[in-house]
Amino acid sequence: MFFLPKLKSGGKFIVCLRLGFHLVLHTSRIRWILPCSVWSIVFVYSSDNVRLMALLTSSEYTEEPVTKVKFRKSLEVPGCPSSLTLLGIGCREKVFAIIGVKVYAAGLYTNPLVFSKLDAWKGHAYAELEKDPLVFNSIFQAPLEKSLHIILVRDVDGKTFWDALSEAISTRVKSPTPVDEFALSTFRNTFESRPLKKGTSVFLTWLDTTKMLVSISPDETPSTIDARIESPNVTSALFDVFLGSNSVSPTLKVSASSGLAAALK
């Protein structure tokens, strides 16, 4: 946090705070929350002077460092009523014959209102948040939208992609109900015969704890809903696959924990 000088007229001042992937501006009368994608030059006007208060630059994207894949800092997903904000990024590696092969990069997006549900963790370091299983469970349980944006960094056939997800889900849903079986069948049919080329995006969007949307796009912009999943066991298991205690992408969880720590200062 840093304080900018008082204006000559009115004695007002601004406080600027970097909040995760947002800029928060406070004055004596108003508060703005600006996504990084709209950061530019901030002016403050008073009757007898106009002062350039801050010059801030940021692109619309954040780059995942291992794969060099870029993620938008805000996301609109078909069927999701809210604009979502990037919380963390990471990648998924698969080991073949002791060699780590990068499969995809992933970005976790949340409704920014989720931070208001996490007051118990205000001021905690990211390492504490990462290790506390209740943190991400609370994010999942919050009645607010979340989305995982997966970007393939190599060609993968849909069956291989689904088999990997299915294996991870099956260890978490050991006795599937008929509702779970139908949800898994819907998932399988969505991916099984679909080639996923390098650069393909898969969006997994949790509307609440029981409903999830799947969108697949050849680029970073989702345009259709390819599947609707309605099963509390399957939706929670899939969230746990990426953000539980045994995450398939540890770098994603670390990054998301860091984003949370910044947001909850």
Q: Is 85 helix (H, G, I), strand (E, B) or coil?
A: strand
DSSP of 244-260: STT-S-HHHHHHHHHHH
Token code pair at residue 205: 């969007």
Q: Is 214 helix (H, G, I), strand (E, B) or coil?
A: strand
Can you list the alpha helix ranges (DSSP code H) found in 35-154? 126-131, 133-141
Q: Which helix (H) or strand (E) holds 24?
A: strand 22-26
Distance CA 199, CA 219 (A): 6
Please report the pLDDT score of residue 146 as a whole number: 98
Please report the pLDDT score of residue 54 as a whole number: 30
Please report the pLDDT score of residue 101 as a whole number: 80
Token code pair at residue 91: 């990648």
Give me the residue spans of the domains in the chain. Answer: 2-55, 61-263
Please report the pLDDT score of residue 93 as a whole number: 87
Measured at the CA of 106, the angle between CA 105 and CA 110, to 5 degrees, comes to: 160
Please report the pLDDT score of residue 25 as a whole number: 40
Please report the pLDDT score of residue 36 as a whole number: 42
DSSP letter assigned to residue 142: S
| Residues 106/203, Cβ–Cβ less than 8 Å | no
DSSP letter assigned to residue 56: -
Please report the pLDDT score of residue 35 as a whole number: 41
What pTM was computed for the model?
0.78
Please report the pLDDT score of residue 94 as a whole number: 76
Token code pair at residue 204: 């997994």
Please report the pLDDT score of residue 40 as a whole number: 35
In this structure, the strands spanning 22-26 and 70-72 are unpaired
User: Mean pLDDT in each 10-residue stretch from start to end of the chain (265 residues)?
Assistant: 35 37 39 39 33 43 95 96 97 67 94 96 96 96 97 94 94 96 97 93 97 96 95 98 95 97 94
Please report the pLDDT score of residue 100 as a whole number: 56
Distance CA 20, CA 264 (A): 9
Distance CA 220, CA 7 (A): 43
Q: Give 61-263's CATH code, choosing from 3.50.70.10, 3.20.20.70, 3.40.50.1970, 1.10.730.10.
A: 3.50.70.10
Measured at the CA of 149, the angle between CA 147 and CA 155, to 5 degrees, comes to: 150
